[in-house]
Structure 1
Amino acid sequence: MSQAPEKKNRFQISREVQEEFVNGVAETMLSLAQTAGEWKKPWTADTPMGMPFCATTGREYGGANMVRLMLTSIVQSYKDDRWMTFKQLQQLQKDNPDLDMKIRKGEKGVKLLRPEEIVFTVEEDGRWKFLSQEEIKQFAEQKAQEQETPDIQRKTLFYPFTVFNASQVDGFPQKEQPAHAMTEIERNEFVEKFIASSGIPVEHHGGDAAYNHAADLVKMPFPERFTGTDEYYATKLHEFYHATGHESRENRQNKQSQTLKGYAFEEMRAEMFSMLTGARLNLPMPESNSAAYIEHWNQKFSGGDIKAVFQAATEAARALTTMRQFEAGEQPSARWFPKSEVWPELVNMQKERDAATGADFHSLPQIAPQTAVPRSERPTLVDSIAAFKETDDPVAKARLVLQNPDFLEMALKQDPNAVRDLASLCDTLSQTLYMELEEKSRTESVAHRTPEQQTAPAPRMRA
């Protein structure tokens, strides 16, 4: 006689739901990265991709749910940003009997997560006692009166619900077109204004794109070195996201982030943000070269850390929400974002930095493709090992370790206890590299300046 399957508790169900959700996000990201070269945008500048929202309530989806819906829209080429559950569609049909709305046969929905906070106490025998709203209120009143109350604990569990895109529903009313969509020039000006108003300084130089944490500075190659404005702004937003992790902003630079896993995870978050902003602003997807990086992180570094991946999606969505709020003329809810009254001054300060380095891209009608410098390919494991043995330059060694995912894996296997020390070394070496690039940029930027710019006063910097 077969045994009945063991009944799962709500915590097991919640974890399984999160695992399925995170795996879906990771698979979608990997699929996008692998096919970035052949990927074609289903929307145009006249009909840009909007933020996913509920077709019945009008409310935008937030956090990790927003990430999954936007990524799904990219993969499935959905032009519509309206979503609904099956029950919501039924209610719409009931309210509009003249319409004949049905989900097409064979269409599959997308599972999202609904958070629910549970409140409980732990009994003497170790069992959990879940509290009702009445009991929670009663204990709160007792505590206010300084009466003895049990230790109340809280946890957030997740439950699934499935939504369908309006494009999957036959007979669904056509979406109204937006009154105005940004042109390419307006989009570029918006990105410039957004990053400048955030207070994150950007300086152009002759080296690669990078964010220097110690100096809290985004370093960008001169605009004319890119294949076009799309690639320039996609790269700039990627580095902007890294800068939001500074301790004065989202503070993602904790002890865990100083490990190789932490560095890789930060890059994973930035790739996710790049995909979302690319869809939102008609910017190119990250290069297919990033597929290996994403796959490597997912296979070698995640270690089943479902909460971490879920957190990454939430953090990427938070940054996108900040950008959307700024676009709408609102004060972004992010606590670190400067108040609107100082935005004009910050924008002017950034213009002065650009002028001082000769990066006057605002007046360029088109960035010349013939001067483009392609991103360097990551070296193979064999090349990295050979180069590592041949050089005594610590900066070169650091580059090799950080650029090659397979080399990172090898370092972890050979000496897992030294991971934090290695990360600390790389952080120290990055300062050396920064000084090297800074000196190089001072020399090279002179060639890009006009006589008037060479005699211009130094840009004002915030204290």
Structure 2
Amino acid sequence: MASLIALLEAGTTPWRREWDAAAGGHHVNLLSGRRYRGANPVLLSLGMHLRGSALPYWCGFAEAKALGIFPRKGSKAVHVQRPQVHQRGESRLVEAASGEGSGHAGAGEATACGDAASAGRSWVSYRPVALFNAADLEGEALEGLIQKRRQAEGLAVKPEPERLAAAEAVLSRWPVEVRFGGDRACYLPGPDRIQLPERAAFHSAGALYSTWAHEAIHSTGHSSRLARDLSGGMGADGNGGRAYAREELVAELGTVLLGDRLEIGSAMANHAAYLGHWVELLKESPRVLLQVLGDARRAADLICPEAPESAGACLC
């Protein structure tokens, strides 16, 4: 957390990254190629930034050791969240089939699932799992594994026009009115409307869709949807300022998750005005980052649910 706060104080938003089509873009397991799900792409993007890596490939210590690969001395792991399914009335605990860090809820939260009338009501909790980035590993087999992953990811990547068209389709289907015009991007809770500048005002299509995604995440907080606190505002004091900072962080991280799912990255304009608020928020309550990640994941799921595992789009 100290490293994250230092980056924010220096004016950096370390979870943002451009979409790297050459590497496939998604955070995946180095050995299996399975994609990390839920809120974990934000944690892994942050981990990549902190170690200056350009490789979105990760694996656990035990699986790396089995191939004679080990973390370099002094390397630090990034902790993602692995879901565990609990069955009421049973003593056993089942690891979710999706493996390390697939995550369908925020870190540390428990989610009830299944029919309440059924005999085996269940819920999910999350535990941290340590992963090492490919840039922190060494061993004879490492280079071959990286090249294999690069080749596989490169073959799977969609052409940019196809990815942008898909992003347009997903965001256009979101049932909140969007108006283009003026010089600011915002979500207006009263009329439940998104306002964006004209399309030509954006320096790239990716910037347009990232900004649109940011405002769409805000709109998930409407009282008719996820009912987050949208009462705060820029420059507000006390609870209003904290509510504002928290909601902007939800939108920021939700945009990163949508950018990963839509394969457009998160190339928004840097909202430097928010950084100081986030530093204050994280210093006041370090656990708020994990809570906000849960809110961001739920918001992203409303707009663009993750593809089912059978489609090969997600596991880890």
SS of 1:284 mapped into structure 2: coil
Q: Match for 2:45 among 46, 59, 70?
A: 70
| 1:70–1:206 distance in 2 versus 1, CA, 3 Å | same
Contact 2:41 2:257 in 1 (8 A): no
Q: Match for 2:210 among 234, 239, 250?
A: 234
Cα distance in 1 for residues equivalent to 2:242 and 2:37: 27
Paired AA for residue 295 in structure 2: E
Deviation at 1:217, TM superposition (A): 1.0
Look up the match of 1:181.
Answer: 157
| 1:301–1:262 distance in 2 versus 1, CA, 3 Å | farther
Paired AA for residue 284 in structure 1: A
Contact 1:48 1:282 in 2 (8 A): no
Contact 1:111 1:163 in 2 (8 A): yes
Look up the match of 2:296.
Answer: 316
Cα distance in 2 for residues equivalent to 1:239 and 1:221: 12
Look up the match of 1:194.
Answer: 170
Look up the match of 1:408.
Answer: none
Deviation at 1:238, TM superposition (A): 1.2
Look up the match of 1:34.
Answer: 11
SS of 1:317 mapped into structure 2: helix
Paired AA for residue 315 in structure 1: D
SS of 1:206 mapped into structure 2: coil
Cα distance in 2 for residues equivalent to 1:74 and 1:301: 18
Deviation at 1:193, TM superposition (A): 0.6
Cα distance in 2 for residues equivalent to 1:159 and 1:82: 21
Cα distance in 2 for residues equivalent to 1:323 and 1:233: 13
TM-score by length of 1: 0.47
Superposition CA RMSD, Å? 4.2
Cα distance in 2 for residues equivalent to 1:254 and 1:285: 21
Paired AA for residue 205 in structure 1: G
1:247 to 2:223 alignment: yes
| 1:189–1:29 distance in 2 versus 1, CA, 3 Å | farther
Look up the match of 2:111.
Answer: none
Cα distance in 2 for residues equivalent to 1:44 and 1:116: 31
Deviation at 1:102, TM superposition (A): 3.2
Contact 1:30 1:295 in 2 (8 A): yes
Cα distance in 1 for residues equivalent to 2:59 and 2:284: 33
Cα distance in 1 for residues equivalent to 2:123 and 2:156: 43
Q: Kindly report which structure 2 residues correspond to 1:52-451, keeping only aligned pairs within 5 A, or say none.
A: 52-55=27-30, 59-91=34-66, 93=67, 100-114=68-82, 133=91, 159-170=127-138, 171-172=141-142, 173=145, 174=147, 175=149, 176-253=152-229, 259-277=240-258, 280-284=263-267, 286-287=269-270, 289-290=271-272, 292-299=273-280, 303-304=284-285, 306=287, 308-320=288-300, 323=304, 325=306
Q: Which has the higher contact order (CA 8 A, sep 6+)?
A: 2
Cα distance in 2 for residues equivalent to 1:312 and 1:36: 15
SS of 1:325 mapped into structure 2: coil
| 1:206–1:160 distance in 2 versus 1, CA, 3 Å | closer
Cα distance in 2 for residues equivalent to 1:298 and 1:236: 25
Contact 1:261 1:301 in 2 (8 A): no
Look up the match of 2:106.
Answer: none
Deviation at 1:326, TM superposition (A): 6.3
Paired AA for residue 313 in structure 1: L
| 1:76–1:183 distance in 2 versus 1, CA, 3 Å | farther
Paired AA for residue 275 in structure 2: I
Higher Rg of the two aligned structures: 1
| 1:206–1:111 distance in 2 versus 1, CA, 3 Å | closer
Paired AA for residue 133 in structure 1: S
Contact 1:204 1:220 in 2 (8 A): yes
Contact 2:84 2:125 in 1 (8 A): yes
Higher share of residues assigned helix: 1
- Cα displacement string for residues 208-228 of structure 1 (whole angstroms, at most 9, x for unaligned residues): 211111211111111122333
Any stretches of 5+ residues in structure 2 without a counterpart?
93-116, 234-238, 312-316
Paired AA for residue 198 in structure 1: W
Cα distance in 2 for residues equivalent to 1:325 and 1:190: 14
| 1:302–1:250 distance in 2 versus 1, CA, 3 Å | farther
TM-score by length of 2: 0.66
Cα distance in 1 for residues equivalent to 2:156 and 2:31: 23
